[in-house]
Structure 1
Amino acid sequence: MRFIASLAVVAGLVSAPLGAHAASLHTDWEKFKATRAFNHLSADGQRAIVDILNAKQILDSGKTDAAIPPLYDATRRLTAAGKANNQFVAAENALHPAPQHPAAPSHVAGTTPVTWVPVGGEVIGTETLAPEKKTAIATANSQLKAGNTQQAAQTLQVVGEDADFILALAPLDQTQGAINRATVFTEARNPTEASAALQQALDGIVFVSEDFTETATPDQTGKHAPAKTGK
Protein backbone atom coordinates (compact mmCIF):
# COMPACT_ATOMS: atom_id res chain seq x y z
CA MET A 1 0.00 0.00 0.00
CA ARG A 2 2.86 2.43 0.71
CA PHE A 3 4.31 1.81 -2.75
CA ILE A 4 0.94 2.48 -4.38
CA ALA A 5 0.56 5.69 -2.35
CA SER A 6 3.99 6.91 -3.41
CA LEU A 7 3.18 6.18 -7.04
CA ALA A 8 0.01 8.25 -6.71
CA VAL A 9 2.03 11.21 -5.44
CA VAL A 10 4.55 10.88 -8.26
CA ALA A 11 1.75 10.61 -10.82
CA GLY A 12 0.30 13.84 -9.50
CA LEU A 13 3.66 15.56 -9.88
CA VAL A 14 3.93 14.44 -13.50
CA SER A 15 0.41 15.32 -14.59
CA ALA A 16 -0.15 18.60 -12.76
CA PRO A 17 1.15 22.03 -13.85
CA LEU A 18 4.10 22.74 -11.57
CA GLY A 19 3.33 26.38 -10.92
CA ALA A 20 -0.36 26.00 -10.20
CA HIS A 21 -0.24 23.03 -7.86
CA ALA A 22 3.20 23.07 -6.24
CA ALA A 23 1.87 24.05 -2.82
CA SER A 24 -0.92 21.48 -2.79
CA LEU A 25 1.44 18.75 -4.00
CA HIS A 26 3.87 19.59 -1.21
CA THR A 27 1.03 19.31 1.29
CA ASP A 28 -0.03 15.96 -0.19
CA TRP A 29 3.52 14.64 0.08
CA GLU A 30 3.88 15.71 3.70
CA LYS A 31 0.53 14.11 4.48
CA PHE A 32 1.70 10.89 2.82
CA LYS A 33 4.92 10.88 4.85
CA ALA A 34 2.99 11.39 8.10
CA THR A 35 0.56 8.59 7.28
CA ARG A 36 3.44 6.27 6.36
CA ALA A 37 5.19 7.03 9.65
CA PHE A 38 2.07 6.44 11.73
CA ASN A 39 1.46 3.13 9.98
CA HIS A 40 4.55 1.80 11.73
CA LEU A 41 2.80 2.01 15.08
CA SER A 42 1.42 -1.11 16.70
CA ALA A 43 -1.99 -0.63 18.32
CA ASP A 44 -1.49 -3.73 20.46
CA GLY A 45 2.00 -2.56 21.39
CA GLN A 46 0.68 0.83 22.48
CA ARG A 47 -2.03 -0.76 24.62
CA ALA A 48 0.47 -3.17 26.15
CA ILE A 49 2.55 -0.26 27.43
CA VAL A 50 -0.56 1.36 28.90
CA ASP A 51 -1.32 -1.95 30.64
CA ILE A 52 2.23 -2.05 32.03
CA LEU A 53 1.94 1.51 33.35
CA ASN A 54 -1.44 0.77 34.93
CA ALA A 55 -0.15 -2.40 36.58
CA LYS A 56 2.92 -0.62 37.91
CA GLN A 57 0.84 2.17 39.41
CA ILE A 58 -1.28 -0.42 41.22
CA LEU A 59 1.76 -2.34 42.43
CA ASP A 60 3.42 0.85 43.66
CA SER A 61 0.40 1.36 45.92
CA GLY A 62 1.13 -2.03 47.50
CA LYS A 63 -1.73 -3.94 45.86
CA THR A 64 -1.34 -7.16 43.90
CA ASP A 65 -4.74 -8.67 43.06
CA ALA A 66 -5.84 -5.63 41.07
CA ALA A 67 -2.58 -5.65 39.08
CA ILE A 68 -3.08 -9.15 37.68
CA PRO A 69 -5.69 -8.28 34.98
CA PRO A 70 -3.58 -5.53 33.34
CA LEU A 71 -0.53 -7.80 33.49
CA TYR A 72 -2.44 -10.55 31.68
CA ASP A 73 -3.70 -7.98 29.17
CA ALA A 74 -0.15 -6.71 28.60
CA THR A 75 1.05 -10.25 27.91
CA ARG A 76 -1.79 -10.94 25.49
CA ARG A 77 -1.40 -7.68 23.60
CA LEU A 78 2.36 -7.86 23.38
CA THR A 79 2.07 -11.38 21.98
CA ALA A 80 -0.34 -10.07 19.34
CA ALA A 81 2.01 -7.19 18.54
CA GLY A 82 4.85 -9.67 18.09
CA LYS A 83 2.86 -11.49 15.40
CA ALA A 84 1.93 -8.36 13.43
CA ASN A 85 3.77 -6.90 10.45
CA ASN A 86 4.83 -3.82 12.44
CA GLN A 87 7.69 -5.68 14.09
CA PHE A 88 11.18 -5.73 12.65
CA VAL A 89 14.64 -7.06 13.48
CA ALA A 90 17.72 -4.92 14.14
CA ALA A 91 20.60 -4.51 16.52
CA GLU A 92 20.04 -1.50 18.75
CA ASN A 93 23.30 0.11 17.68
CA ALA A 94 22.02 0.07 14.08
CA LEU A 95 19.01 2.23 14.91
CA HIS A 96 18.86 6.02 14.66
CA PRO A 97 18.51 7.37 18.23
CA ALA A 98 16.27 10.39 18.65
CA PRO A 99 18.24 13.24 20.25
CA GLN A 100 15.06 14.49 21.94
CA HIS A 101 14.91 11.30 24.03
CA PRO A 102 18.51 10.25 24.78
CA ALA A 103 19.21 6.98 26.58
CA ALA A 104 20.61 6.98 30.08
CA PRO A 105 24.36 7.70 30.21
CA SER A 106 25.01 4.19 31.52
CA HIS A 107 23.01 2.54 28.74
CA VAL A 108 24.99 0.50 26.22
CA ALA A 109 23.27 -0.22 22.91
CA GLY A 110 23.15 -3.91 22.06
CA THR A 111 24.93 -5.29 19.02
CA THR A 112 22.86 -8.46 18.61
CA PRO A 113 19.81 -8.29 16.30
CA VAL A 114 16.55 -8.59 18.22
CA THR A 115 12.86 -8.16 17.41
CA TRP A 116 11.41 -4.71 18.11
CA VAL A 117 7.78 -3.64 18.40
CA PRO A 118 6.72 0.01 17.94
CA VAL A 119 4.82 0.86 21.14
CA GLY A 120 4.37 4.62 20.84
CA GLY A 121 4.90 7.68 18.73
CA GLU A 122 5.43 11.37 19.30
CA VAL A 123 5.47 14.39 17.02
CA ILE A 124 8.01 17.06 17.99
CA GLY A 125 8.24 20.58 16.57
CA THR A 126 10.68 23.41 17.05
CA GLU A 127 10.20 26.19 19.59
CA THR A 128 9.85 28.71 16.77
CA LEU A 129 6.70 27.15 15.35
CA ALA A 130 3.64 29.32 14.94
CA PRO A 131 1.02 28.90 17.72
CA GLU A 132 -1.45 27.14 15.43
CA LYS A 133 1.21 24.58 14.47
CA LYS A 134 2.12 23.96 18.11
CA THR A 135 -1.56 23.41 18.85
CA ALA A 136 -1.84 20.99 15.93
CA ILE A 137 1.15 18.99 17.20
CA ALA A 138 -0.33 18.77 20.71
CA THR A 139 -3.65 17.61 19.26
CA ALA A 140 -1.93 15.06 17.00
CA ASN A 141 0.01 13.61 19.93
CA SER A 142 -3.21 13.20 21.89
CA GLN A 143 -4.77 11.46 18.91
CA LEU A 144 -1.75 9.16 18.59
CA LYS A 145 -1.99 8.16 22.25
CA ALA A 146 -5.65 7.31 21.65
CA GLY A 147 -4.71 5.20 18.63
CA ASN A 148 -6.34 7.53 16.10
CA THR A 149 -3.48 7.56 13.59
CA GLN A 150 -5.52 8.72 10.59
CA GLN A 151 -6.90 11.68 12.51
CA ALA A 152 -3.39 12.56 13.69
CA ALA A 153 -2.10 12.54 10.11
CA GLN A 154 -4.89 14.88 9.05
CA THR A 155 -4.25 17.20 11.98
CA LEU A 156 -0.59 17.51 11.01
CA GLN A 157 -1.38 18.76 7.51
CA VAL A 158 -1.00 22.33 8.78
CA VAL A 159 2.43 21.54 10.23
CA GLY A 160 4.05 19.98 7.15
CA GLU A 161 7.78 19.43 7.30
CA ASP A 162 8.26 21.55 10.44
CA ALA A 163 7.97 18.52 12.71
CA ASP A 164 9.78 15.26 13.39
CA PHE A 165 8.17 11.92 14.21
CA ILE A 166 9.77 9.76 16.88
CA LEU A 167 8.96 6.11 17.51
CA ALA A 168 9.22 4.33 20.85
CA LEU A 169 10.43 0.76 20.38
CA ALA A 170 10.29 -2.11 22.84
CA PRO A 171 12.53 -5.19 22.51
CA LEU A 172 9.94 -7.96 22.26
CA ASP A 173 11.62 -10.84 24.10
CA GLN A 174 13.09 -8.63 26.82
CA THR A 175 9.76 -6.92 27.46
CA GLN A 176 7.84 -10.19 27.52
CA GLY A 177 10.36 -11.61 29.99
CA ALA A 178 9.97 -8.61 32.29
CA ILE A 179 6.17 -8.91 32.23
CA ASN A 180 6.38 -12.62 32.98
CA ARG A 181 8.64 -11.96 35.99
CA ALA A 182 6.29 -9.22 37.17
CA THR A 183 3.34 -11.60 36.91
CA VAL A 184 5.12 -14.29 38.96
CA PHE A 185 6.04 -11.76 41.67
CA THR A 186 2.50 -10.34 41.66
CA GLU A 187 0.90 -13.75 42.07
CA ALA A 188 3.36 -14.37 44.93
CA ARG A 189 2.14 -11.14 46.58
CA ASN A 190 5.45 -9.34 46.13
CA PRO A 191 4.52 -5.93 44.71
CA THR A 192 7.98 -4.39 45.14
CA GLU A 193 9.78 -6.95 42.99
CA ALA A 194 6.91 -6.97 40.49
CA SER A 195 7.09 -3.20 40.08
CA ALA A 196 10.86 -3.40 39.64
CA ALA A 197 10.42 -5.94 36.82
CA LEU A 198 7.97 -3.65 35.04
CA GLN A 199 10.40 -0.75 35.44
CA GLN A 200 12.99 -2.87 33.64
CA ALA A 201 10.52 -3.28 30.78
CA LEU A 202 9.97 0.48 30.60
CA ASP A 203 13.71 1.18 30.81
CA GLY A 204 14.26 -1.08 27.80
CA ILE A 205 12.23 1.17 25.49
CA VAL A 206 14.33 3.17 23.05
CA PHE A 207 13.35 6.21 20.99
CA VAL A 208 14.38 6.49 17.36
CA SER A 209 13.83 8.81 14.45
CA GLU A 210 11.24 7.61 11.94
CA ASP A 211 13.77 7.19 9.13
CA PHE A 212 15.03 3.97 10.74
CA THR A 213 12.23 2.24 8.80
CA GLU A 214 14.14 2.74 5.57
CA THR A 215 16.91 0.41 6.79
CA ALA A 216 15.18 -1.97 9.20
CA THR A 217 14.41 -5.53 8.14
CA PRO A 218 10.78 -6.66 8.63
CA ASP A 219 10.46 -9.77 10.75
CA GLN A 220 7.52 -11.43 9.02
CA THR A 221 8.94 -14.95 9.01
CA GLY A 222 10.05 -15.21 12.62
CA LYS A 223 13.72 -15.32 11.61
CA HIS A 224 16.08 -12.78 13.10
CA ALA A 225 17.69 -11.30 10.01
CA PRO A 226 20.15 -8.46 10.62
CA ALA A 227 19.13 -4.94 9.69
CA LYS A 228 20.73 -3.20 6.78
CA THR A 229 22.99 -0.34 7.75
CA GLY A 230 23.12 1.71 4.54
CA LYS A 231 20.62 4.39 3.66
Structure 2
Amino acid sequence: MRFIPLLAVAASLAITPVAGHATSLHTHWEQYKAGRAFRHLSADGQKALGDILKAHDLLSAGNTDAAIPALYDANKRLVAAGNASKKFNAAESALQPAPQHAPAAAHVAGAAPDVWIPVGGEFIASETLAPEKKAAIATANKQLQSGDTQQAAQSMQIVGEDVDFIVALAPLAQTQGALNRATVFTEGRQTKDALDALDQALNGLVFVSQDFVETSIPSTKSAPKAK
Protein backbone atom coordinates (compact mmCIF):
# COMPACT_ATOMS: atom_id res chain seq x y z
CA MET A 1 0.00 0.00 0.00
CA ARG A 2 1.12 3.51 -0.68
CA PHE A 3 -0.53 5.42 2.14
CA ILE A 4 -0.78 3.14 5.17
CA PRO A 5 2.98 3.25 5.95
CA LEU A 6 2.48 6.86 6.99
CA LEU A 7 0.69 5.50 10.06
CA ALA A 8 4.08 4.54 11.47
CA VAL A 9 5.30 8.13 11.81
CA ALA A 10 6.27 9.56 15.19
CA ALA A 11 3.60 10.38 17.77
CA SER A 12 2.00 13.80 17.52
CA LEU A 13 3.86 16.71 19.12
CA ALA A 14 1.89 19.86 19.88
CA ILE A 15 3.82 22.97 18.91
CA THR A 16 1.73 26.02 19.77
CA PRO A 17 3.01 29.58 19.12
CA VAL A 18 2.53 32.25 21.76
CA ALA A 19 -0.17 34.82 21.04
CA GLY A 20 2.29 37.62 20.36
CA HIS A 21 3.67 35.74 17.38
CA ALA A 22 0.32 34.88 15.78
CA THR A 23 0.52 37.55 13.08
CA SER A 24 4.10 36.78 12.07
CA LEU A 25 3.31 33.05 12.09
CA HIS A 26 0.38 33.56 9.75
CA THR A 27 2.43 35.74 7.40
CA HIS A 28 5.31 33.25 7.33
CA TRP A 29 3.01 30.31 6.67
CA GLU A 30 1.15 32.06 3.85
CA GLN A 31 4.50 32.60 2.15
CA TYR A 32 5.49 28.96 2.54
CA LYS A 33 4.78 26.96 -0.60
CA ALA A 34 2.90 24.14 1.15
CA GLY A 35 0.55 26.76 2.59
CA ARG A 36 -0.69 27.35 -0.94
CA ALA A 37 -1.40 23.67 -1.40
CA PHE A 38 -3.40 23.54 1.85
CA ARG A 39 -5.90 25.92 0.29
CA HIS A 40 -6.78 23.26 -2.26
CA LEU A 41 -7.39 20.40 0.17
CA SER A 42 -10.95 19.25 0.74
CA ALA A 43 -11.87 19.52 4.41
CA ASP A 44 -14.52 16.80 4.08
CA GLY A 45 -12.17 14.72 1.95
CA GLN A 46 -9.46 14.93 4.60
CA LYS A 47 -11.89 13.82 7.29
CA ALA A 48 -13.15 10.97 5.09
CA LEU A 49 -9.61 9.71 4.61
CA GLY A 50 -9.04 9.90 8.37
CA ASP A 51 -12.22 7.86 8.91
CA ILE A 52 -11.05 5.24 6.40
CA LEU A 53 -7.68 4.92 8.13
CA LYS A 54 -9.40 4.71 11.52
CA ALA A 55 -11.74 1.97 10.28
CA HIS A 56 -8.79 0.08 8.83
CA ASP A 57 -6.97 0.21 12.18
CA LEU A 58 -10.06 -0.94 14.07
CA LEU A 59 -10.73 -3.83 11.69
CA SER A 60 -7.08 -4.89 11.83
CA ALA A 61 -7.37 -4.99 15.62
CA GLY A 62 -10.55 -7.06 15.46
CA ASN A 63 -12.84 -4.23 16.63
CA THR A 64 -15.46 -4.79 13.95
CA ASP A 65 -18.39 -3.07 15.68
CA ALA A 66 -16.32 0.03 16.42
CA ALA A 67 -15.33 0.32 12.74
CA ILE A 68 -18.91 0.69 11.49
CA PRO A 69 -19.47 4.32 12.66
CA ALA A 70 -16.17 5.37 11.08
CA LEU A 71 -17.23 3.83 7.78
CA TYR A 72 -20.60 5.61 7.93
CA ASP A 73 -18.84 8.90 8.64
CA ALA A 74 -16.44 8.35 5.74
CA ASN A 75 -19.36 7.74 3.38
CA LYS A 76 -21.15 10.92 4.45
CA ARG A 77 -18.01 13.03 4.18
CA LEU A 78 -17.18 11.71 0.73
CA VAL A 79 -20.64 12.71 -0.43
CA ALA A 80 -20.11 16.18 1.01
CA ALA A 81 -16.68 16.40 -0.63
CA GLY A 82 -18.17 15.44 -3.97
CA ASN A 83 -20.70 18.27 -3.67
CA ALA A 84 -18.08 20.90 -2.77
CA SER A 85 -15.80 22.93 -5.04
CA LYS A 86 -12.47 21.33 -4.06
CA LYS A 87 -12.47 18.77 -6.88
CA PHE A 88 -11.73 18.44 -10.57
CA ASN A 89 -12.44 16.10 -13.47
CA ALA A 90 -9.66 14.22 -15.23
CA ALA A 91 -8.67 10.79 -16.44
CA GLU A 92 -6.08 9.09 -14.26
CA SER A 93 -3.84 8.85 -17.32
CA ALA A 94 -3.76 12.67 -17.41
CA LEU A 95 -2.43 12.96 -13.85
CA GLN A 96 1.25 13.41 -13.15
CA PRO A 97 2.12 11.11 -10.20
CA ALA A 98 4.78 12.35 -7.81
CA PRO A 99 7.95 10.22 -7.95
CA GLN A 100 7.94 9.83 -4.14
CA HIS A 101 4.69 7.81 -4.41
CA ALA A 102 4.76 6.47 -7.96
CA PRO A 103 2.16 3.81 -8.87
CA ALA A 104 3.22 0.19 -9.06
CA ALA A 105 4.99 -0.72 -12.28
CA ALA A 106 2.15 -3.04 -13.30
CA HIS A 107 -0.54 -0.43 -12.68
CA VAL A 108 -2.38 0.81 -15.77
CA ALA A 109 -3.93 4.25 -15.36
CA GLY A 110 -7.54 4.54 -16.47
CA ALA A 111 -8.43 6.68 -19.46
CA ALA A 112 -12.03 7.43 -18.45
CA PRO A 113 -12.71 10.79 -16.75
CA ASP A 114 -13.32 10.73 -13.03
CA VAL A 115 -13.90 13.21 -10.22
CA TRP A 116 -10.79 13.63 -8.04
CA ILE A 117 -10.87 14.90 -4.46
CA PRO A 118 -7.68 16.23 -2.78
CA VAL A 119 -8.02 14.28 0.47
CA GLY A 120 -4.63 14.85 2.06
CA GLY A 121 -0.98 15.60 1.65
CA GLU A 122 2.48 14.60 2.72
CA PHE A 123 5.65 16.55 3.40
CA ILE A 124 8.75 14.88 1.98
CA ALA A 125 11.85 15.08 4.18
CA SER A 126 15.27 15.10 2.54
CA GLU A 127 18.08 13.02 3.99
CA THR A 128 20.08 16.15 4.77
CA LEU A 129 17.52 17.61 7.18
CA ALA A 130 18.40 17.75 10.88
CA PRO A 131 16.72 15.09 13.09
CA GLU A 132 14.47 17.64 14.81
CA LYS A 133 13.20 18.84 11.43
CA LYS A 134 12.54 15.28 10.27
CA ALA A 135 10.59 14.71 13.49
CA ALA A 136 8.55 17.87 12.86
CA ILE A 137 7.73 16.67 9.35
CA ALA A 138 6.65 13.27 10.68
CA THR A 139 4.40 15.02 13.18
CA ALA A 140 2.92 17.30 10.52
CA ASN A 141 2.18 14.32 8.27
CA LYS A 142 0.37 12.57 11.12
CA GLN A 143 -1.66 15.74 11.76
CA LEU A 144 -2.53 16.00 8.07
CA GLN A 145 -3.90 12.45 8.17
CA SER A 146 -6.26 13.63 10.91
CA GLY A 147 -7.31 16.62 8.79
CA ASP A 148 -5.69 19.09 11.19
CA THR A 149 -4.02 21.51 8.78
CA GLN A 150 -3.65 24.22 11.43
CA GLN A 151 -1.56 22.04 13.75
CA ALA A 152 0.41 20.74 10.76
CA ALA A 153 1.21 24.31 9.81
CA GLN A 154 2.43 25.04 13.32
CA SER A 155 4.54 21.89 13.43
CA MET A 156 6.24 22.86 10.17
CA GLN A 157 7.43 26.24 11.41
CA ILE A 158 10.79 24.90 12.55
CA VAL A 159 11.44 23.22 9.20
CA GLY A 160 11.54 26.21 6.87
CA GLU A 161 10.83 26.16 3.16
CA ASP A 162 13.29 23.54 1.89
CA VAL A 163 10.82 20.66 1.73
CA ASP A 164 8.45 19.27 -0.90
CA PHE A 165 4.71 18.83 -0.44
CA ILE A 166 2.66 16.31 -2.43
CA VAL A 167 -1.12 15.97 -2.52
CA ALA A 168 -3.15 12.76 -2.29
CA LEU A 169 -6.02 12.60 -4.78
CA ALA A 170 -8.90 10.14 -4.36
CA PRO A 171 -11.03 9.05 -7.34
CA LEU A 172 -14.49 9.73 -5.98
CA ALA A 173 -16.54 6.96 -7.63
CA GLN A 174 -13.89 4.29 -7.09
CA THR A 175 -13.36 5.28 -3.47
CA GLN A 176 -17.08 5.36 -2.72
CA GLY A 177 -17.52 1.93 -4.31
CA ALA A 178 -14.72 0.43 -2.24
CA LEU A 179 -16.05 2.09 0.90
CA ASN A 180 -19.57 0.77 0.29
CA ARG A 181 -18.19 -2.75 -0.12
CA ALA A 182 -16.15 -2.36 3.07
CA THR A 183 -19.27 -1.26 4.95
CA VAL A 184 -21.33 -4.22 3.75
CA PHE A 185 -18.53 -6.66 4.59
CA THR A 186 -18.02 -5.10 8.01
CA GLU A 187 -21.70 -5.29 8.85
CA GLY A 188 -21.58 -8.93 7.75
CA ARG A 189 -18.56 -9.55 10.01
CA GLN A 190 -16.41 -10.42 6.99
CA THR A 191 -13.33 -8.65 8.29
CA LYS A 192 -10.81 -9.82 5.69
CA ASP A 193 -13.02 -8.78 2.80
CA ALA A 194 -13.68 -5.43 4.48
CA LEU A 195 -9.96 -4.80 4.89
CA ASP A 196 -9.35 -5.76 1.26
CA ALA A 197 -11.96 -3.22 0.18
CA LEU A 198 -10.37 -0.48 2.28
CA ASP A 199 -6.96 -1.42 0.87
CA GLN A 200 -8.42 -0.92 -2.61
CA ALA A 201 -9.63 2.54 -1.62
CA LEU A 202 -6.23 3.51 -0.21
CA ASN A 203 -4.29 2.00 -3.10
CA GLY A 204 -6.45 4.04 -5.47
CA LEU A 205 -4.93 7.29 -4.18
CA VAL A 206 -2.70 9.14 -6.61
CA PHE A 207 -0.07 11.53 -5.24
CA VAL A 208 0.73 14.60 -7.34
CA SER A 209 2.75 17.77 -6.89
CA GLN A 210 1.17 20.86 -5.40
CA ASP A 211 1.82 22.66 -8.69
CA PHE A 212 -0.37 20.15 -10.51
CA VAL A 213 -3.20 20.69 -8.04
CA GLU A 214 -2.88 24.46 -8.26
CA THR A 215 -3.40 24.34 -12.01
CA SER A 216 -6.39 22.00 -11.65
CA ILE A 217 -8.38 23.64 -8.84
CA PRO A 218 -9.10 27.40 -8.61
CA SER A 219 -7.44 29.21 -5.73
CA THR A 220 -9.29 30.07 -2.55
CA LYS A 221 -8.39 32.57 0.10
CA SER A 222 -7.79 30.37 3.09
CA ALA A 223 -6.87 26.84 4.06
CA PRO A 224 -9.70 24.49 5.14
CA LYS A 225 -10.17 24.34 8.88
CA ALA A 226 -10.49 21.08 10.73
CA LYS A 227 -13.98 20.41 12.02
Considering the TM-score relative to the shorter chain, is it more than 0.5? yes
Aligned to 2:88: 88
Q: Report SS of the residue matched to 1:96.
A: coil
Which amino acid is the alignment partner of residue 70 of structure 1? A
Q: Quick one: distance in 1 between partners of 2:190 and 2:216?
A: 39
Give the aligned partner of residue 78 of structure 1: 78
| Map 1:146-225 → 2, pairs under 5 A | 146-153=146-153, 155-157=155-157, 159-216=159-216
Structure 1 counterpart of 2:65, one-letter code: D
Q: Which amino acid aligns with 2:35?
A: T
- Shift in Å, 1:215: 3.3
Q: Displacement, 1:117?
A: 1.0
Aligned residues: 193
* 1:66–1:163 CA distance, 2 compared to 1 (3 A): same
| Residues 55 and 70 in structure 2, CA contact (< 8 A), matched pair in contact too | yes
1:119-130 alignment runs, 5 A limit: 119-130=119-130
Q: TM-score normalised to the size of structure 2? A: 0.73
Give the drift of 1:115.
0.6
Q: Given residue 51 of structure 1, which amino acid in structure 2 is its aligned partner?
A: D
Query: Structure 1 residue 160: deviation in Å?
Result: 4.2
Instruction: Please identify runs of 4+ aligned residues in structure 1 that moved more than 6 A.
Output: none
Mapping 1:26-37, distance limit 5 Å: 31-37=31-37
* Bigger CA radius of gyration: 1
RMSD: 2.7
Decide which moves more: 118-127 or 186-195: 186-195
> Cα offset for 1:89?
1.3
Q: 1:190 and 1:165, CA in 2 relative to 1: closer, same or farther beyond 3 A?
A: same
What SS is found at the alignment partner of 1:118? strand
Cα distance between partner residues in 1 of 2:79 and 2:104? 27
Check conservation: 1:169, 1:205, Cα contact below 8 A: yes
Partners of 1:170 and 1:206 within 8 A in 2:
yes
Relative to structure 1, the CA distance from residue 110 to residue 28 in structure 2 (aligned partners, 3 Å threshold; closer, same or farther) is same
* Residue in 2 that maps onto 1:44: 44
The structure-2 alpha-carbon separation of the partners of 1:163 and 1:68, relative to structure 1 and needing over 3 Å to count, comes to same
Instruction: Give CA-to-partner distance per residue, 1:81-113, whole Å, 9 cap, x none.
Output: 112221111111222211111212221111222
Unaligned runs of 5+ in 2: 1-23, 219-227
How many Å apart are 1:154 and its aligned residue? Answer: 5.1
Query: Matches of 1:189 and 1:136 in 2, distance apart?
Result: 39
One-letter amino acid of the structure 2 residue matched with residue 175 of structure 1: T
Structure scoring higher RCO (CA < 8 A, sep ≥ 6) equals 2
Within 5 Å, give how 1:53-132 maps onto structure 2: 53-62=53-62, 64-131=64-131
User: C-alpha offsets along residues 186-230 of structure 1, whole Å, 9 cap, x if unaligned?
Assistant: 223322222221111111111111111243256xxxxxxxxxxxx
CA contact (8 A) 2:64 2:189 kept: yes
